[in-house]
């Protein structure tokens, strides 16, 4: 099997909704490949960290000797996009995390795990994303985190607008790193994935 091109976007494929992200990225014309090993990580230009279970992902990344390479690539400027659990993995700080929970880090933010409640409290709502044309995105929240606070280098892109959790930060960007509390890969709306592809290309 030939190696994927250097312009490929990887999707971390250790646990979670990898297939959905691969499908969306390929649907908008991106070269998207699963990443499970350090050698595969070396061959991608950007990486999606999908939703799933953040503690399990971190433990599997460590087991497969991916955690430190991920940290090094992110620190070196590799674009990365985290959804839900992926947002937690990109956070520098976690509230209500599992004991000894480890992250990749990179975004100067504090994230509260499972902030919107349990699986039974999952919901959908519209979220306006700064700089994204076409109106609110349809955001699916499943045991989702929210951002408690951000550092000065973090741009808040979206906040919830309704209910008791109105005003919570659910989308952020810091340089080439992007994160959302919700799952755009489940809605058929590819605008946030297009934004990430543009970040990888250096055009956003």
User: DSSP secondary structure string, 76-102?
Assistant: TT--EEEETHHHHHHEEEEESPPTT--
Is 1 a member of any domain? no
Residues known to be catalytic: 84, 183, 185
- CATH number for the domain including 123? 3.40.50.880
What residues make up the domain containing 20? 9-201
Q: What is the pTM of this model?
A: 0.92
Q: Which residues of 63-89 are buried (b: 16+ CB within 10 A; e: fewer)?
A: eeebbebbbebbeeebbbbbbbbbbbb
Token pair for 13: 């494929």
Total of domains in the chain: 1
Structure confidence at residue 142 (pLDDT) = 86
Interior angle at CA 52, CA 64 and CA 161, nearest 5: 140
What does the alpha-carbon distance between residue 149 and residue 12 come to, in Å, rounded to a whole number?
Answer: 26
Tell me the average pLDDT across 135-149.
Answer: 91
Compute the distance between CA of residue 40 and CA of residue 22 in angstroms, rounded to an integer: 15
pLDDT recorded at residue 47: 98
Q: Is residue 96 part of a domain?
A: yes
The DSSP symbol for 106 reads: -
């Amino acid at each position: 099997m030939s190696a994927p091109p250097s312009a490929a976007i990887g999707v971390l494929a250790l646990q979670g909704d990898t297939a959905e992200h691969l499908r969306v990225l390929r649907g908008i014309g991106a070269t998207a490949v699963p990443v499970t090993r350090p050698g595969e990580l070396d061959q991608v230009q950007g990486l999606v960290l999908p939703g799933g279970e953040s503690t399990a992902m971190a433990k599997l990344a460590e087991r497969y000797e991916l955690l430190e390479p991920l940290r090094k690539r992110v620190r070196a400027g590799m674009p990365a996009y985290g959804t839900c659990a992926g947002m937690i993995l990109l956070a520098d700080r976690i509230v209500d995390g599992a004991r000894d929970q480890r992250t990749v880090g990179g975004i100067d933010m504090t994230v509260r795990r499972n902030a919107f409640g349990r699986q039974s409290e999952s919901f959908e709502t519209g979220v306006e994303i700064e700089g994204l044309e076409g109106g609110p995105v349809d955001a699916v929240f499943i045991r989702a985190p929210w951002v408690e606070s951000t550092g000065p280098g973090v741009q808040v892109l979206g906040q919830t607008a309704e209910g008791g959790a109105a005003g919570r930060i659910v989308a952020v960007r810091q340089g080439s790193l992007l994160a959302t509390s919700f799952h755009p890969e489940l809605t058929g709306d590819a605008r946030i994935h297009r934004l990430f592809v543009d970040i990888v290309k250096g055009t956003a």
